């Protein structure tokens, strides 16, 4: 998990896919920030939407309203 978080922190421009409330999305990481504790906040954007996803949710592939999450590191 530590290696994933280190890679995620520097993953500006990486693609993320998944489902938000059963609606598919595909976007690009535009921002990352360290959150209180041991997590990273990730901003994912496409032409219409902005999603705020925790790094632990991306690592686990799901969390909250998100399912089937994938990060495609460059």
Would you state the pLDDT for residue 12?
97
Please tell me the total number of residues recorded for the chain in this structure. 74
Q: How many Å apart are CA 47 and CA 41, to the nearest integer? A: 20
pLDDT band at 23 (very low <50, low <70, confident <90, very high): very high
**What total of structural domains would you count in the chain?**
1
**pLDDT per residue as tens digits for the range 44-66:** 999 999 999 999 999 999 998 99
71 near 16, Cβ under 8 Å?
A: yes
CA 71 to chain centre: 7
Residue 38 predicted with pLDDT over 90: no
Q: What is the span of the domain harbouring residue 15?
A: 2-72
Tokens of 3: 């290696």
pTM for the structure as a whole: 0.92
Judged on CB neighbours under 10 Å (0-12, 13-18, 19+), 23 is: exposed
């Amino acid at each position: 998990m530590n290696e994933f978080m280190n890679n995620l922190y520097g993953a500006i421009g990486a693609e993320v896919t998944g489902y938000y409330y059963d609606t598919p999305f595909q976007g690009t990481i535009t921002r990352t920030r360290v959150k209180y504790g041991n997590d990273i906040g990730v901003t994912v954007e496409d032409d219409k939407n902005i999603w705020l996803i925790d790094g632990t949710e991306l690592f686990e592939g799901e969390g909250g309203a998100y399912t089937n999450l994938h990060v495609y590191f460059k």
